[in-house]
């Protein structure tokens, strides 16, 4: 079959564009799930009381006229309804478009499968596409992404909230919904509440999620074919990157997560087909039961497969206490061995070019072991989901893993740091060596050839070299060797490698048989040539495949969400040792590798969504980096408070004239030493963050100086807004006038902040006064804006800025 993804292959291009769209829809759903208007959740009693009568779930469709009549019968309700529409129609439209795109996606997938079956694509059949490597991958991804979309919607946007939003959109965009978009009924049917609630103590609905997945049926024969492929094949050819048998479940992790999702489209297998389930578990889950399904969303198979008899029976071997203990102890021991090994390699001067080129297999094995260990321990010790936490077996299983593996989050965090640094150093070194590869090859070839040429001239008798007799045979031999070395081709690495090995052997033999050892200079020339030929072999062994393998092995997408549980350890480490930021930089870059998963197909399809999806995931990662590094401004403010307290209350101000005998009283050496020490500590923290260098995270460039300034602004905003909030709350029952004392107290606090900024600005190289004025005025303006919102018809939304201001309730 011709290249399936070629531009002129309509079948391949259509499928690729569909899968690319699936990844873009998922990014949009994840993005929107952070912007659900709180009023639709109705957690707040005030919202419930005010908007309860104009927000309704799908019960609206049973008595739409009655509901609308109730609003229209009262003028104040009409007014409130109109105001609500003006404020929310934009975000509701965005949500509806995302929901509708999920329905359009599955409709288009079904249409594509029908077209394929009916022969619309000439010379293409479902069987033919599924045999093709790219076709097989894309078909599996197309169904998998649809399943993930449905689960993401249910986990991130609760069923009742979806219904309320869809009904509000339907009411406020009635004409548009009726004329332009006849799919609104289908979208509502697909996304009606499933009864699933992602909170503690909530029970799992009956036949969930298979009944949800079957709302828009997918061709069963097709589903069974792709399940068959995922069961038997290495769909993504990952085993070549993980050659050891014990790493097989890690190598197949991507297709294992696909299989987990796609099996819900064919629940018969999960319920009754024990042989198939046994095969699936033995191949994909022999030593693991917590899997990552998409961008760090984890699933515990014991909890997920509890209602399915065949699946649970197949999983029993894996969950046998003996097997669990064996796996836990194995990875605990690996952890103990890997930390000193990585520490040894990371010492300054160890990972030099020559050592790396001689030890590629050994270094790659250490990297594999580190990543496999890290993955298993991070996934199997992660906090349980609300539904798994209710399951006693899941709790016992997790406790056993924690006990048997002697789990210490600090040690695991240490492994993550070392592994990330190790990979970063190797990657940078390989990139540099690949860039210089051809130049070095040519240099070594030239040096070796010249030495052979010179030896040929020495044995010709024309070039003087002490005590070397003329030897025409050797002269011809060395001249021929020079020609052979010059003829070595850079492009054909295999034949050049074989030829170099033969040339090295010939040089060793000529030295032995012709008694050339006696002449030191000839011997030196031969040794040098052999050295250059060895360097040529090393150079030609630098392949791009090594970099690709590093990328595959170093994948950290499974920890996209779990990593947050290690934030505290990162911050403690930075507090103790600010230079840890340099090591963390490599960890953040390792996390950026997770972006490859959703972006690969979008990039292949040259989709215009590339920028927005990259922006979303990069933005999420940058927000996490800011969160981790916020400990630096927080600690700095703590130190600043102590400095200001010392400056204002302990250190006396020096008068312009001072009597000699009072000098000792004003010196206050201990207090001044304290101020100097605290100031030095602040400088060390500043230095720590600035060591990070400008880093490209996804497509966003992080400038450490800007990061520090933003962090200082954020901390200042938090402290000042808290001070203003607490300082300006008055007790209406107070008999004495509180205004003046409170304002004086607040004035002192604000003066303290301002003075500390003035004091510190030169030590951390920021414009303190400018930041102070900008942020204080922003806080005042924000609060005025929020106060005005209760009088405005069109409210001012308060999202969008990464330095957010704490919002306090306004009645």
Per-residue pLDDT at 333: 95
- This prediction has a pTM of 0.88
3-state secondary structure of 694: coil
What is the CB neighbour count within 10 angstroms for residue 355?
Answer: 13
Q: 47 pLDDT band (50/70/90 cuts)?
A: confident
440-444, 587-591, 793-797, range with greatest mean pLDDT: 587-591
CB atoms within 10 A of CB 530: 18
Spatial CA neighbour of 749 closest among 641, 634, 633: 641
What does the pLDDT read at residue 1?
Answer: 42
The answer to whether the beta carbons of residues 299 and 291 sit under 8 Å apart is yes
What pLDDT, in 10s, does the model give residues 323-336?
999 999 999 999 99
pLDDT of residue 524: 80
Evaluate whether 521 touches 451 at the Cβ level (below 8 Å).
no
Q: Map out the domains of the chain as residue ranges.
A: 1-207, 328-374+405-559, 562-654+663-811
pLDDT of residue 462: 65
Q: Which of 46-63 are b and which e, b meaning 16 or more Cβ less than 10 Å from the residue's Cβ? A: ebeeebeebbbbbebeee
CA distances from 113 to 5, 64, 369, 432, 483 (A): 17, 38, 41, 46, 61
Beta bridge partners of 355: none
In our burial notation (b when 16+ CB lie closer than 10 A, e otherwise), range 595-614 reads: bebbbebbeebebebbeebb
Q: Looking at per-residue confidence, does 415 or 201 come out higher? A: 415
Residue carrying the six token digits 């939304």: 797
583: its two tokens: 């090591």
Report d(CA 793, CA 79) in Å as an integer.
10
CA distance 515 to 526: 13
Task: Give the lowest-confidence range in 255-259, 280-284, 734-738.
Answer: 734-738
Please tell me the distance from the alpha carbon of residue 523 to that of residue 135, in angstroms, as a whole number. Answer: 59
pLDDT at 397: 93
pLDDT-based confidence at residue 707 (cuts at 50, 70, 90): confident
| Cα–Cα dist 607/13, whole Å | 11
Which of 211-220, 529-538, 652-661 has the lowest average pLDDT?
652-661
pLDDT, residue 105, reads 96
Give whole-number Cα distances, 57 to 48, 53, 99, 166, 208, in Å.
13, 11, 16, 8, 21
* Whole-number Å distance between alpha carbons of 37 and 162: 11
| d(C-alpha 325, C-alpha 221), whole Å | 40
Among 200-204, 210-214, 656-660, 714-718, the range scoring the smallest mean pLDDT is: 656-660
Instruction: Flag whether pLDDT at 371 surpasses 90.
Output: yes
Residue 179 tokens, joined: 């004329």
Tokens of 699: 């497509």
**Average pLDDT for 179-185:** 69
Q: What is the pLDDT of residue 509?
A: 75
- Segment 339-365 shows an average pLDDT of 89
Which band of pLDDT confidence, cut at 50, 70 and 90, is reported for residue 638? confident
Q: Looking at the DSSP assignment, which residues form a beta bridge with residue 290?
A: 300
Across 686-697, average pLDDT: 78
Over the stretch 451-499, which tens digit does the pLDDT of each residue have?
A: 777 777 777 766 655 556 677 777 777 778 778 877 777 777 677 778 7
Q: pLDDT above 90 covers what percent of the chain?
A: 41
Render pLDDT for 400-410 as a digit per residue (tens, 0 to 9): 999 999 999 99
Buried/exposed 425-456: b ≥16 CB within 10 Å, e otherwise: bbbebbeebeeebeebbeebbebbbbbbbebb
Q: Is 416 a residue whose pLDDT tops 50?
A: yes
State residue 810's pLDDT score: 44
**Total residue length of the chain:** 811
Categorize the per-residue pLDDT at 811 as very low, low, confident or very high, splitting at 50, 70 and 90.
Answer: very low
Report the DSSP beta bridge partners of residue 700: 697
Bond from prior residue into 626 cis (ω within 30 degrees of 0): no
Distance CA(492)–CA(208), nearest Å, equals 57
Question: pLDDT category, 799, cuts 50, 70, 90?
Answer: low
pLDDT tens readout for residues 194-208? 989 888 878 889 999
Using DSSP's 3-state secondary structure scheme, residue 197 falls into: coil
Please state the rounded mean pLDDT for residues 212-236.
Answer: 93
Is residue 121 very low, low, confident or very high in pLDDT (cuts 50, 70, 90)? confident
pLDDT tens-digit map of 484-496 = 877 777 777 677 7
Residue 719's pLDDT is 86
Does residue 541 have a pLDDT over 70?
yes
Report how far residue 77's alpha carbon sits from residue 683's, in angstroms, rounded to the nearest whole number.
59
Q: How confident is the model at residue 286 (pLDDT cuts 50, 70, 90)?
A: very high
CA dihedral angle for residue 548, residue 30, residue 785, residue 766, rounded to 10 degrees: -20
Give Cα 595 distance to the centre of its chain: 6
Q: What local confidence, expressed as pLDDT, does residue 808 receive?
A: 63
Tell me, what DSSP letter sits at residue 735? S
> Mean pLDDT score of the chain, rounded to an integer?
86
């Amino acid at each position: 079959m011709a290249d399936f993804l070629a531009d002129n292959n309509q079948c391949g291009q259509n499928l690729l564009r569909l899968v690319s769209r699936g990844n873009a829809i998922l990014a949009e759903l994840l993005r929107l799930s952070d912007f659900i208007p709180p009023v639709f959740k109705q957690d707040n009693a005030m919202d419930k009381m005010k908007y309860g009568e104009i927000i309704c779930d799908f019960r609206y469709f049973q008595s739409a006229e009655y509901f609308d009549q109730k609003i229209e019968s009262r003028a104040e309700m009409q007014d409130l309804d109109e105001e609500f529409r003006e404020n929310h129609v934009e975000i509701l439209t965005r949500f509806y478009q995302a929901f509708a795109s999920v329905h359009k996606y599955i409709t288009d997938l079904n249409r594509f499968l029908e077209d394929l079956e009916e022969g619309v694509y000439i010379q293409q059949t479902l069987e033919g596409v599924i045999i093709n490597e790219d076709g097989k991958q894309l078909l599996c991804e197309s169904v998998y992404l649809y399943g993930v979309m449905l689960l993401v919607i249910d986990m991130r946007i609760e069923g009742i909230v979806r219904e309320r939003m869809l009904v509000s959109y339907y009411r406020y965009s009635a004409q548009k919904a009726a004329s332009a978009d006849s799919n609104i009924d289908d979208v509502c049917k697909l996304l009606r509440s499933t009864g699933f609630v992602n909170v503690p103590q909530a029970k799992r609905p009956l036949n969930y999620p298979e009944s949800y997945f079957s709302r828009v049926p997918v061709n069963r024969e097709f589903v069974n074919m792709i399940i068959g492929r995922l069961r038997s094949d290495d769909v993504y050819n990952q085993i070549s990157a993980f050659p050891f048998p014990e790493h097989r479940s890690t190598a197949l992790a991507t297709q294992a997560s696909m299989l987990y999702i796609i099996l819900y489209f064919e629940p018969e297998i999960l319920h009754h087909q024990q042989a198939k389930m046994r095969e699936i578990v033995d191949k994909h889950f022999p030593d693991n039961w917590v899997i990552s399904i998409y961008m760090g969303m984890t699933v515990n198979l014991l909890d997920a497969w509890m209602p399915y008899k065949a699946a649970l029976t197949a999983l029993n071997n894996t969950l046998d206490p003996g097997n669990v203990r064996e796996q836990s102890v194995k990875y605990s021991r690996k952890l103990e061995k890997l930390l000193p090994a990585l520490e040894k390699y990371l010492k300054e001067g160890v990972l030099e070019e020559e050592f790396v080129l001689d030890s590629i297999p050994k270094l790659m094995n250490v990297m594999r072991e580190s990543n496999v260990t890290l993955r298993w321990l991070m996934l199997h010790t992660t906090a349980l989901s609300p539904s798994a936490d209710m399951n006693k077996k899941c709790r016992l299983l997790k406790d056993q893993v924690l006990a048997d593996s002697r789990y210490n989050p600090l040690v695991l965090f240490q492994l993550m740091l070392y592994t990330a640094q190790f990979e970063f150093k190797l990657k940078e070194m390989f990139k540099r060596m690949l860039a210089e590869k051809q130049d070095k090859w040519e240099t070594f070839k030239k040096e070796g050839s010249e030495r052979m040429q010179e030896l040929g001239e020495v044995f010709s008798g024309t070039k003087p070299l002490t005590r070397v007799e003329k030897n025409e045979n050797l002269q011809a031999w060395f001249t021929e060797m020079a020609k052979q070395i010059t003829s070595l081709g850079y492009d054909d690495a295999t034949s050049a490698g074989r030829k170099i090995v033969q040339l090295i052997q010939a040089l060793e033999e000529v030295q032995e048989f012709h008694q050339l050892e006696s002449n030191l200079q000839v011997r030196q020339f031969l040794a040098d040539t052999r050295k250059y030929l060895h360097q040529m072999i090393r150079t030609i062994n630098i392949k791009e495949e090594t970099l690709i393998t590093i990328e595959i092995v170093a994948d950290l997408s499974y920890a996209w969400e779990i990593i947050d549980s290690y934030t505290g350890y990162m911050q403690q480490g930075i507090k103790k040792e600010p230079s840890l930021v340099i090591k963390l930089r490599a960890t953040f870059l390792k996390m950026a590798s997770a972006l490859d998963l959703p972006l690969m197909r979008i990039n292949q399809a040259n989709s215009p969504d590339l920028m927005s999806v990259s922006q979303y995931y990069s933005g999420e990662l940058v927000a996490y980096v800011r969160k981790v590094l916020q400990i630096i401004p927080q600690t700095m403010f703590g130190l600043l408070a102590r400095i200001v307290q010392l400056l204002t209350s302990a250190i006396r101000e020096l008068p312009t004239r001072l009597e000699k005998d009072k000098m000792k009283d004003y010196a206050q050496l201990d207090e001044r030493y304290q101020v100097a020490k605290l100031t030095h500590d602040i400088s060390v923290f500043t230095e720590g963050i600035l060591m990070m260098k400008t880093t490209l995270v996804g497509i966003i460039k992080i400038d450490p100086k800007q990061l520090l300034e933003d962090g200082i602004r954020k901390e200042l905003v938090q402290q000042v807004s808290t001070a203003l909030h607490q300082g300006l709350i008055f007790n209406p029952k107070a008999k004495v006038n509180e205004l003046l004392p409170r304002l004086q107290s607040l004035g002192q606090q604000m003066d303290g902040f301002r003075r500390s900024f003035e004091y510190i600005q030169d030590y951390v190289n920021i414009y303190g006064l400018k930041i102070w004025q900008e942020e204080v005025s922003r806080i005042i303006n924000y609060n005025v804006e929020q106060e005005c919102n209760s009088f405005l018809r069109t409210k001012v939304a308060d999202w969008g800025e990464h330095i957010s201001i704490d919002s306090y309730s306004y009645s």
